[in-house]
Amino acid sequence: MDGLLNRGRRLLAPMAAAVAAATLLAGCTDTGTPAKAADSTPQAPRAPQAAQAPAQAARKADGNGLQSDYERVIKDVLPSVVQIDAANSLGSGIVYDDQGHIVTNAHVVGGERQFKVSTATGGGSVGAKLVAAYPEQDLAVIKLDSVPSGMKAAKFGDSTKVEMGQIVLAMGSPLGLSSSVTQGIVSATGRTVTEGAAGGGPGATIGNMVQTSAAINPGNSGGALVNLNSEVIGIPTLAAVDPDMGGSAAPGIGFAIPASMAKTVADQIIKSGKVTDSGRAALGITGRTVVDANYQPAGVAIVDVKRGGAADKAGLKAGDIVTRVGRTDITTITSLSEALAADKPGQTVQVTYTRGGGAKTATVTLGEI
C-alpha cells in the first residue's frame, strides 16, 4: 500500500488520534488487504509460568513427546475453530460459548451482516448474523442461527502469561483450506501494530500483540493461536510482508491479538451489543501529519478538538502542532497513535506542542476512545 506520508502535500487527510507501528503487513483474509505496522520493543522475558506444567508433565510421561502433544491439542481445539464465508472475504473464527457466539476479526466480517460458517466437525455450513464489530481493535462477534452437534466452546488462556519461546499452533482456514494447522513459537510479546485501512492510510492500532513464527496466511484471520495446554492465547490477525520481495510474505513473522483483549471485547459485545469500556486512551482530537520544508514529517497538527475531551480540558486548540507525548517524539499521526497505545484512560502525560511558532507544554489527563 502507499506509505503513510504523501510527500507531495504539506497536510494529510484528517484522522482521529487514538492509538500504532513500522514493517509492512498484510491482513489475513483471502482479500490480502495490505497493512502498515510498527512494532514496539518486546516485553522483557518473564519467569516461566506454572500454566505450562500440565503440558510439560504430559511430555515427560509420553515417549512420543511433541508429536503426542500436537495430536492432543489439535483434537481438543479444532472443533472450536470455524471457517467464515462473507460476501467478499473468507476468514476464520473461534467458538466462544455454548450459545453459538463466534469471535473473529472485524476485517473478516467487513461490512457484512450475514455469513456462512463451516465447522471442523463437518455437517455443512450454518447461517450466522453479526452481533457487533469493533474495528478499533479489529474484533467482531457473530452468532450462529443454530449450534451444530459436536461444536464446543474454546478455552481461552491468560495471554499475560505468554512467554517468548513457548510452542504454539495456529489453526484456521488459510487460503480456504479449512481445519489447517501450523506450528511455531512465540517470537515476541508486547508488539504494537497498525493495520492498513481500505483505501490506504493507517487502520486499527492494536497494542500488546503476540508475534509468532507459526505460519499465518490469508484466511487465517480470526482463527486460534493456542498453546500446548489447548488454550487460545491469541487470534491470528496479520502477517508481515517483505517490501524487498515485491510485497510477498516475510516467513515466520505473524501477529495475533492477545486472548485477554479478545475476551474483554467479546464479553461486552455479547452483553451490551457494543463495546462500552474500550480501555484505550485518547487525546480527543482530530489531527493531520504535517511536513517541513523538506517534506519530512514534523508533527501532528490539531484540526479539531473534541469539546470536553482530554485535549480541550488541557487547553489545546485547533492549529496547535503536537511534537511530543511523554518521552516519545511525535512526527506523524501514526507515531501519535503508537505513543497512546501503551497508555490508559485517566493517565496523565506531558504533551509538547507549538503554537504561533513557540514551544509549549501541557499536562493532559487522557480520555477514552
The catalytic site residues sit at: 107, 138, 221
Three-state SS letters, the chain: CCCCCCCCCCECCCEECCCCCCEEEEECCCCCCEEEECCCCCCCCCCCCHHHHHHHHHHHHCCCCHHHHHHHHHHHHHHHEEEEECCCCEEEEEECCCCCEEEECHHHHCCCCEEEEEECCCCCEEEEEEEEEEHHHCEEEEEECCCCCCCCCCCECCHHHCCCCCEEEEEECHHHCCCEEEEEEEEEEEEEEEEECCCCCEEEEEEEEEEECCCCCCCCCCCEEECCCCCEEEEEEEEEEEHHHCCEEEEEEEEEEEHHHHHHHHHHHHHHCCCCCCCCEECCEEEEEEECCCCCEEEEEEEEECCCCHHHHCCCCCCCEEEEECCEECCCHHHHHHHHHCCCCCCEEEEEEEECCEEEEEEEECEEC
Q: Are strands 202-212 and 224-226 parallel, antiparallel or unpaired?
A: unpaired
How far is the first Cα of the chain from the last one, in angstroms, to the nearest whole number? 26
What's the rounded Cα separation, in Å, for the pair 80 and 144? 13
What's the rounded Cα separation, in Å, for the pair 273 and 171? 27
What's the rounded Cα separation, in Å, for the pair 314 and 307? 11
Radius of gyration for the chain, computed over Cα atoms and rounded to the nearest angstrom: 21
